[in-house]
Amino acid sequence: MPIRLDERLTAAANLAAGGATVCDVGCDHGKLACYMVQTGRAERAIATDISAPSLKKAERLAEELGLTDLVETRVGDGLDPVADGEADVVVLAGMGGDLIARILERACAQGKRFSRFVLSPNTHPERAREAAGAAGHRIVADIAAECAGKYYPVISTKAGGAEKLSRSELLFGRFFAEDEDFPVRASRELSELENTLKQNPSASGLAERKALLEEALKECAK
């Protein structure tokens, strides 16, 4: 049975393709790890999760698909169950940017190095981009995957040549200024923010977000 992924995980799988071993940290259902090997995007996968019941789901899926030889599951916090360089590409998706940053920082402090990361934070993408840079990685692709009416950042990085990003690049994507869809997304978010602010002018953080979006839109127009 072929696995179907939503647009967010499909984007992550496409960006993670090409390494022999992929590691999916926080794999939960295990769909990404199974899809990677089932479609030949990776030869083998290590699927990890801090939650044993979540990992069970991944194990069951690998079993159902006859992929147990190719998808290895390991329980543990972040990259703790993975050795230095053991995977060619590490995927961290569907977690908050703060958690992704903490996992990358901890792995770095443990002396673990990986050639590529694919990060899809569901909050605070700026923290994930910043942590990838601190781990010595540069961003090589940074897209917004539309899934069920929401946009999710999917960020691909490679070791070496880390760059200092501007505040707008950290918040809205390394290539936001060249992305012709960014003004459309930003304008949509701005009008939603304006409606919310009309009803609740003191809503926390919204006026600041509005100012940041307006600043980024001005940078695009330059």
Ligand X SMILES: C[S@@+](CC[C@H](N)C(=O)[O-])C[C@H]1O[C@@H](n2cnc3c(N)ncnc32)[C@H](O)[C@@H]1O
Task: Choose one: 90-98, 111-119, 150-158, 206-214; the region binding ligand X (CB under 6 A).
Answer: 90-98
Token couple for 140: 């090589």
**131 near ligand X, judged by CB under 6 A:** no
Q: Cα 111 from chain centroid? A: 22
Chosen residue from 21, 38, 54, 157 binding ligand X by CB under 6 A: 54
Q: Work out how close the CB of 185 gets to ligand X at its nearest, in angstroms, rounded to a whole number.
A: 21
Nearest residue (beta carbon) to ligand X: 94
**50 near ligand X, judged by CB under 6 A:** yes
Task: Choose one: 22-30, 60-68, 192-200, 208-216; the region binding ligand X (CB under 6 A).
Answer: 22-30
**153 near ligand X, judged by CB under 6 A:** no
Which of 81, 13, 72, 63 lies closest to 45 in space, CA to CA? Answer: 72
**81 near ligand X, judged by CB under 6 A:** no
**Measured distance CA(145)–CA(77) in Å, rounded:** 27
Which of 80, 74, 76 lies closest to 112 in space, CA to CA? Answer: 80
**Which residues, in sequence order, are CB contacts of 99 under 8 Å at separation 6+?**
none
Chosen residue from 45, 87, 95, 131 binding ligand X by CB under 6 A: 95
Site size for ligand X, by CB under 6 A? 16
**49 near ligand X, judged by CB under 6 A:** yes
**51 near ligand X, judged by CB under 6 A:** yes
**Measured distance CA(138)–CA(77) in Å, rounded:** 25
**Measured distance CA(46)–CA(24) in Å, rounded:** 6
Q: Work out how close the CB of 90 gets to ligand X at its nearest, in angstroms, rounded to a whole number.
A: 12
Q: Which is nearer to ligand X, 84 or 192 (CB)?
A: 84
Q: Which is nearer to ligand X, 50 or 70 (CB)?
A: 50
Token couple for 68: 């147990």
* C-beta of residue 101 within 8 angstroms of C-beta of residue 117: no
**Measured distance CA(124)–CA(65) in Å, rounded:** 34
**93 near ligand X, judged by CB under 6 A:** yes
Q: Hey, is 217 helix, strand or coil?
A: helix
Where on the chain is the footprint of ligand X (CB under 6 A)? Answer: 9, 25-28, 48-51, 54, 77-78, 93-95, 99
